[in-house]
Amino acid sequence: MLKLFFELKEGVKIFMDIKGVPIIELEDKKFQSDLAFLVDITSHLNNLNLKLQSSNQLITSLLFHIKSLQLMLHSFVTQLKRKCFKHFPKLSEQHPESTKEYSDEYESFLKKFEIRFEELQDKIELRVLKTPFDMCPEEDPDS
């Protein structure tokens, strides 16, 4: 829905101007960049959501999807600091002057994400499910 609004924002602006209720924010370059950033973030989160909703997955597969998004977030922070918009198509259309605010937001989001899934990181019991023959006998949780 957010992506659709972003794509139709010019039409919405014209319609609201005709109705006599102009939306000033739609003319603000900073607001448009922030909106584009939000569209790109929600796109990545929607992709994760779809992967997590797939049926017939083991918990190890779900953790893999979570871990891969976490690694992507690290990469996104670095890319934003370098003004690389490879994974931010809507933001790149806006040509923002500064990306520091966006990289800071991603770092904050990443920290919250890591805290949220902290207890699932590198659990021995889960590693046994994923790769049982890679486990050392000393790491056996039942011994």
3-state secondary structure of 8: coil
Q: Which two tokens stand for residue 122?
A: 């590198």
Residue 56 is assigned to a structural domain of this protein: yes
**Residue span of the structural domain in which 47 resides:** 29-121
For 112, how many CA atoms within 13 A lie in the half-sphere containing its CB?
6
Residue 138 lies in a domain: no
The reported pTM is 0.75
Answer yes or no: are the C-beta atoms of 105 and 37 closer than 8 Å. yes
74-102, pLDDT tens digit by residue?
Answer: 898 899 999 999 999 999 999 988 888 99
pLDDT higher than 80, residue 119:
no
Q: How far apart are CA 128 and CA 126, in angstroms?
A: 5
Q: How many separate domains does the chain show?
A: 1
Enclosing H/E stretch for 70? helix 59-81
3 state DSSP class of 107: helix
CA nearest neighbour of 101 among 76, 72, 81: 81
Helices (H) and strands (E) in the chain, counts: 7, 0
Residue 121 identity (one-letter amino acid): Q
| Residue 58 lies inside a defined structural domain of this protein | yes
- Average pLDDT score over the chain: 84
